[in-house]
């Protein structure tokens, strides 16, 4: 009798734990994902494992992914695959803003994220009536914060169709119709917008996916009105990075492999690339440097928390609620978080090198 009672008690506790972890354990934001809603974007359930394997094979050697024109041409498709694989996991554990921000004393991660996004609107001098472009908008967390803060109209572009649908759904829930926040599916290397059609533009940790930064900066330059400002938060290696240090190399390669990056750029390259396409550099600053507090503390997931999340994913996969392959993606993201944390702690990497650029009122060609 006692054995039966213990068995029933264990079963009830087990069901209760699964219920808590899966249904009750909150998503990072009120309107975010729950664990039971984990999919893999627009990838059908039976193709998730194959798509993950293809992705990992392509980005396994990061420095080789953009060394030839043929491989560089494949990068956008694999970035699209990456966001199909990770978008729901990001929303479940991270919320609707897929980027970092400096920690703020006594403030939540969510508050710090909002302040970091509102800084973009302030740098652009955005105001009502302005039309802004969000280059690589994800599911639109920054877009909504910037539209609300500045009362500007924001158009976001993302290569991933699943993210377009998620962003539009979030916009509707936030009461922001398509005239305030519009989202289109497209490649920021070749954008479907007319020349000189935006008052300002920004990108938050998105252009790192471009094989050549010149290409995306050139497109932003094209669609900006003369005199328009563009602010970008760039992922770069810092002067502390040493290519001859194996630990440094493995850290940076780990970041590149796990985040669909065709090779991180150096911090000192950004402004020269911007000038190369015609921009004037108004301001340049690494927002991660002191007195800013560490951005990577959010990634310092304890082993207990990691095993809890891993257990949830494995149980959901076993029950066929989540498709096969989700566990591998979750493990990849956890390992990438360790590399990102290491990059932050050593100072060899920053995800928030900020450049504020202006398209000249008179182009170089016209000035001649």
Q: CB-side exposure of 108: number of CA atoms within 13 Å? A: 7
User: Which DSSP category does 46 fall into?
Assistant: G
pLDDT digits (tens, 9 = 90+) for 209-234: 999 999 999 999 999 999 999 999 99
DSSP helix/strand/coil, 156: strand
SS3 content of the chain, % helix, strand, coil (to 5): 50, 15, 30
DSSP helix/strand/coil, 236: strand
pLDDT score for 255: 97
Cα 193 to Cα 97: distance, rounded to the nearest angstrom: 24
Cα 216 to Cα 21: distance, rounded to the nearest angstrom: 41
For residues 32 and 97, the answer to whether their CB atoms sit within 8 Å is no
Phi, psi of 53 (to 5 degrees): -60, -40
pLDDT score for 10: 58
Mean pLDDT of the region 173-180: 87
**Residue spans per domain, the chain:** 47-359
Check whether the bond before 224 is cis (ω within 30° of 0): no
Cα 33 to Cα 30: distance, rounded to the nearest angstrom: 9
> Does 27 have pLDDT greater than 80?
no
pLDDT score for 302: 60
- Band (364; pLDDT cuts 50, 70, 90): low
**Which position has the higher pLDDT, 179 or 258?**
258
Nearest to 217 by CA among 183, 189, 186, 259: 189
Cα 260 to Cα 4: distance, rounded to the nearest angstrom: 51
Hey, what are 19's tokens? 């219920």
Question: Tokens 């280059």, residue?
Answer: 135
pLDDT score for 34: 74
β-pairing, 280-286 vs 265-266, is unpaired
> Does 29 have pLDDT greater than 60?
no
- Band (108; pLDDT cuts 50, 70, 90): confident
Q: Give the CATH superfamily of 47-359.
A: Vaccinia Virus protein VP39 (3.40.50.150)
pLDDT digits (tens, 9 = 90+) for 230-242: 999 999 999 999 9
Q: Which residue(s) pair with 154 in the sheet?
A: 132, 181
User: Which DSSP category does 293 fall into?
Assistant: B
R_g (Cα) of the chain, nearest Å: 21
**Which position has the higher pLDDT, 305 or 342?**
342
């Amino acid at each position: 009798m006692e054995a039966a009672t213990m068995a029933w008690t264990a079963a009830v506790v087990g069901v209760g734990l699964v219920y808590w972890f899966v249904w009750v354990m909150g998503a990072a934001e009120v309107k975010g994902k729950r664990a039971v809603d984990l999919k893999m974007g627009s990838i059908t359930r039976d193709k998730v494992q194959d798509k993950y394997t293809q992705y990992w094979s392509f980005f396994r050697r990061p420095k080789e992914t953009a060394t030839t024109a043929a491989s560089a041409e494949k990068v956008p498709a694999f970035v699209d695959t990456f966001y199909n694989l990770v978008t729901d996991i990001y929303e479940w554990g991270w919320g609707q803003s897929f980027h970092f921000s400096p920690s703020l004393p006594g403030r939540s991660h969510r508050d710090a994220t909002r302040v970091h996004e509102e800084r973009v609107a302030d740098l652009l001098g955005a105001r009502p009536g302005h039309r802004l472009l969000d280059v690589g908008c994800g599911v639109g967390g920054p877009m909504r914060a910037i539209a609300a803060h500045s009362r500007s109209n924001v158009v976001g572009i993302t290569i991933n169709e699943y993210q377009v649908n998620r962003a539009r759904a979030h916009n509707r829930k936030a009461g922001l119709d398509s005239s305030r926040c519009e989202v289109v599916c497209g490649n920021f290397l070749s954008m479907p917008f007319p020349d000189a059609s935006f008052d300002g533009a920004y990108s938050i940790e998105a252009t790192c996916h471009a094989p050549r930064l010149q290409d995306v900066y050139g497109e932003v330059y094209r669609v900006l009105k003369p005199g328009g400002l563009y602010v970008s938060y760039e992922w770069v290696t810092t002067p502390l990075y040493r290519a001859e240090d194996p630990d440094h190399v493995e850290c940076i390669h780990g970041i590149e492999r796990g985040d669909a990056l065709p090779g991180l750029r150096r911090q000192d390259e950004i402004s020269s690339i911007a000038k190369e396409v015609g921009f004037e550099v108004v301001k340049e600053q690494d927002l991660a440097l002191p007195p800013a507090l560490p951005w990577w503390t959010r990634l310092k997931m304890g082993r207990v928390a990691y095993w809890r999340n891993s257990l949830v994913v494995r149980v959901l996969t076993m029950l066929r609620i989540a498709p096969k392959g989700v566990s591998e993606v979750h493990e990849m993201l956890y390992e990438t978080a360790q590399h990102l944390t290491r990059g932050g702690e050593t100072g060899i990497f920053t995800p928030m090198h900020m450049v504020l650029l202006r398209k000249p009122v008179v182009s170089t060609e016209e000035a001649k």
